[in-house]
Structure 1
């Protein structure tokens, strides 16, 4: 009886039911769109962060670099001799630690022993500045000037010789700067190489702790036309390229990867690291682990992915802020308005059904049965609105993913933070930012769909509660009064 009457009443009031359903649908569609875009923003931000510190890293431990002491400026210094031969090519590499003050390698084990730490590995980030070119010596040339006259004895003319002048010569040098990361080859799941995969050749083996081998990034290999098996020379030492690494998400900030001991030898930094990569046992306790490390290991800076995310700027950050603040508040406002409109329309429809409900009560229907009837109709309207809202929301999310608008993300320096790559803030250097381009998508999760269904039911219940309350207050006499 309930189902038959429900179907008949909804069929009689198709336009009113459709208006209520469309109002709820628009609110639900906006909620789905905002949630899916926000999820896409989070994914894009995760891609930016993972490209810098690698998948699985929860935080890094570094130490802020102190100001140079004495007359040392900390700037690279190159000295060349101008040889007698012309076009003599000269080359020099300057290797400097990058990203922060060096830490003792023993701190890696100390960090790993802290409560809540699952694993910790050390890495050494270097910046290599290569100057390559030649001098060309100039040639001294003298010129003689003379004049005729009678001033000399016997009318002889006089002349003078000018000082010799150097003409030609000079110097032509190319300056190339690239980043090098020393990797703990015994544990490559954390550290600079964790955010890349080997697409050509092989990666390091655990036995190559001090081998003269290298893995280069895809972009650096393409720029310098390196292939697997060739030799790379750094500061007079030759390294065999065994693999080409491609970042999982975006451009990497590291050009060359070496075994940690080899990087320490290059930089004259024996038993030193610049960054300790840390993985927590529980991702929900990262802040607690951070506080523990800072308390027990003084003088260090612990940077989490959340700290690094705060430095992200550019259009990605702007869009994320809009989706988080404006978008969510707008969706809440629209949804509240849709609920209110549905409730008012339902209540208004009940007012027009005075004769109907009064007659039903006169026939013996109790108030709870009348209320159940109105609530049932409202829930059906809500579910219909939910179905339409889900369809509209999925269409909007698909459109965003299909268009894939490009967003830029600029990650500022955090004092030797997670990446430790170029722009790490060496002495006397300006703090640079890494700019990346990310394609935005709008994934729709099952949680979002469940939320939409819940909102649809909630909207129907709210509208039904108001209409049912009003219907329950009607008396059979009201039906008789409405008869003309």
Structure 2
């Protein structure tokens, strides 16, 4: 009986039911769209941060760069001999640690022993400036003056002048990262995949081998089996690595011991990569490390997120603040409109409900009837809202608007890490890196479940108000409405 009467009443009031459903649908569609765009913003930001952090890295421990002393400018120096033979090429490499002051390797074990830390791996970041070319010495030539003196005397010989000569040098700068070959799942090489050759083995901790990035190999025509020469030392290329992110700036990877020898930094590291046992306790682990290991800088992905600016940051803030508040306001308005329309519809059905009560329907049955109709309207609005929301999210994904993210400084001098091969040092460089990100709007099952819940909630709110109004009617009301 309930189902038959419900179907008949909804069929009689199609327009009113459609108006209520559409009001709820617009609110639910806006919620789905805002949630989907926010999820897309989060994915875009994670993609940007992925270029700075290694896979599985929750935080890094570094030490800020010290100010240069009065007797040291901190700039590289190169010494060459000026040779007369211009065909003789001269070359000099300057190897410097970068990414802050070096830390003792023993700190890696100390960090790994802290509460909440799952594992810790050290890495050494180096910058190599290579200068090669040749000198050409000039030749001294004397000039003769033809002006005659008194008595018709001849000319005089002037001061000799150097003509010709010069120098032609090429400057090449690239980054080197020392990798703990026994823990490659965490550290600078974790953000790259070996596409040609092989990666390091545990037995190669002291071997003169190297893995180079795909872009660096292409630029310098290196391949597996080639020999790479750094500061007079030769390294055999065993693998070509392709970074997961285009923002990775590490060119050459060496075993950590070899990098320490090359950079004259025995038992030193510049970055300690840390993985927490629980990703929800990263802030607590950060505080623990900072408290127990003085003089270090601990950087998390949340810290790096604060350095991301540009249109991505602006859009993310809008979606988080304005978008969510707007969707809540529209949703509340949709619920109120549905409740008022339902209550108004009940007021126009005085004769109907009064007659039903006169025939013996109790108030709870009348209320159940109104609530049932409202829930059906809510579910219909939910279905329409989900369809509209999915269409809007699909449109955003299809258009894929471009957003720009600028990776700025975290505020520590010299940067809290190594080169951008998975460590957060790229975010702390003086120059900002700009990344273009295509925005998508993924719709999750949770978002759909939220939409269904909102639809039922809207129907219940409208039904509760309408049912309360209907339950207060008396049979006498129906008689007074008869003209």
Same fold (TM over 0.5): yes
The match for 1:36 is: 36
Are the counterparts in 2 of residues 201 and 243 from structure 1 also a CA contact under 8 Å? Answer: yes
Are the counterparts in 2 of residues 59 and 278 from structure 1 also a CA contact under 8 Å? Answer: yes
Q: Answer with 307-316 or 433-442: which moved more.
A: 433-442
C-alpha change, 1:419 and 1:158, in structure 2 (3 Å) is: closer
How big is each residue's C-alpha offset from its partner over 1:18-50, in whole Å with a ceiling of 9 and x where there is no partner? 111111111111111111111111112212222
Q: Is 1:45 matched with 2:45?
A: yes
Q: Could you tell me how far apart the structure 2 residues matched to 1:288 and 1:61 are? A: 14
Q: Which runs of 5+ in 1 are unaligned?
A: none
Q: Is 1:88 matched with 2:88?
A: yes
| Shift, 1:165, TM fit | 1.6
Are the counterparts in 2 of residues 99 and 417 from structure 1 also a CA contact under 8 Å? Answer: yes
Q: Is 1:335 matched with 2:331?
A: yes
SS at match of 1:100: coil
| Shift, 1:184, TM fit | 0.4
Alignment of 1:250-261 (within 5 A): 250-261=246-257
C-alpha change, 1:462 and 1:222, in structure 2 (3 Å) is: same
| Shift, 1:404, TM fit | 2.1
Counterpart selection for 1:371 from 342, 367, 370: 367
Are the counterparts in 1 of residues 52 and 425 from structure 2 also a CA contact under 8 Å? Answer: no
The match for 1:8 is: 8
| Shift, 1:439, TM fit | 2.2
How big is each residue's C-alpha offset from its partner over 1:417-472, in whole Å with a ceiling of 9 and x where there is no partner? 3554499889xx97223332222221111111111111111111111111111111
The match for 1:75 is: 75
SS at match of 1:239: strand
Counterpart selection for 1:384 from 380, 402, 424: 380
Counterpart selection for 1:409 from 401, 405, 415: 405
Q: Which runs of structure 1 show a deviation greater than 4 angstroms over 4 or more consecutive aligned residues?
A: 422-426
Q: Could you tell me how far apart the structure 2 residues matched to 1:462 and 1:74 are? A: 70
The match for 1:349 is: 345
Q: Is 1:451 matched with 2:450?
A: yes
Q: Answer with 261-270 or 323-332: which moved more.
A: 323-332
How big is each residue's C-alpha offset from its partner over 1:205-234, in whole Å with a ceiling of 9 and x where there is no partner? 111101111111122222222222211111
C-alpha change, 1:228 and 1:407, in structure 2 (3 Å) is: farther
Q: Could you tell me how far apart the structure 2 residues matched to 1:456 and 1:278 are? A: 44
* RMSD over equivalenced CA pairs, Å: 1.9
Q: Is 1:441 matched with 2:437?
A: no
C-alpha change, 1:193 and 1:236, in structure 2 (3 Å) is: same
The match for 1:394 is: 390
The match for 1:132 is: 132
How big is each residue's C-alpha offset from its partner over 1:171-209, in whole Å with a ceiling of 9 and x where there is no partner? 222211111110000001100111111111111111110
Q: Is 1:305 matched with 2:301?
A: yes
| Shift, 1:301, TM fit | 1.0
SS at match of 2:178: strand
Q: Could you tell me how far apart the structure 2 residues matched to 1:421 and 1:63 are? A: 17
Are the counterparts in 2 of residues 200 and 228 from structure 1 also a CA contact under 8 Å? Answer: yes
The match for 2:167 is: 171
Q: Could you tell me how far apart the structure 2 residues matched to 1:425 and 1:341 are? A: 53
How big is each residue's C-alpha offset from its partner over 1:240-263, in whole Å with a ceiling of 9 and x where there is no partner? 111111122433121111100011
Q: Could you tell me how far apart the structure 2 residues matched to 1:241 and 1:409 are? A: 34
Are the counterparts in 1 of residues 102 and 268 from structure 2 also a CA contact under 8 Å? Answer: yes
| Shift, 1:160, TM fit | 2.5
Q: Could you tell me how far apart the structure 1 residues matched to 2:41 and 2:393 are? A: 13
Q: Could you tell me how far apart the structure 2 residues matched to 1:340 and 1:280 are? A: 46
Q: Answer with 349-358 or 85-94: which moved more.
A: 85-94
The match for 2:430 is: 431
SS at match of 1:145: coil
The match for 2:213 is: 217
Alignment of 1:304-323 (within 5 A): 304-323=300-319
Q: Could you tell me how far apart the structure 1 residues matched to 2:233 and 2:163 are? A: 38
Alignment of 1:63-212 (within 5 A): 63-148=63-148, 151-152=150-151, 156-212=152-208
| Shift, 1:87, TM fit | 4.1
Q: Could you tell me how far apart the structure 1 residues matched to 2:389 and 2:357 are? A: 42
| Shift, 1:270, TM fit | 0.2
SS at match of 2:69: coil
Aligned residues: 478
Are the counterparts in 2 of residues 125 and 421 from structure 1 also a CA contact under 8 Å? Answer: no
How big is each residue's C-alpha offset from its partner over 1:280-309, in whole Å with a ceiling of 9 and x where there is no partner? 111111111111111111111111111111
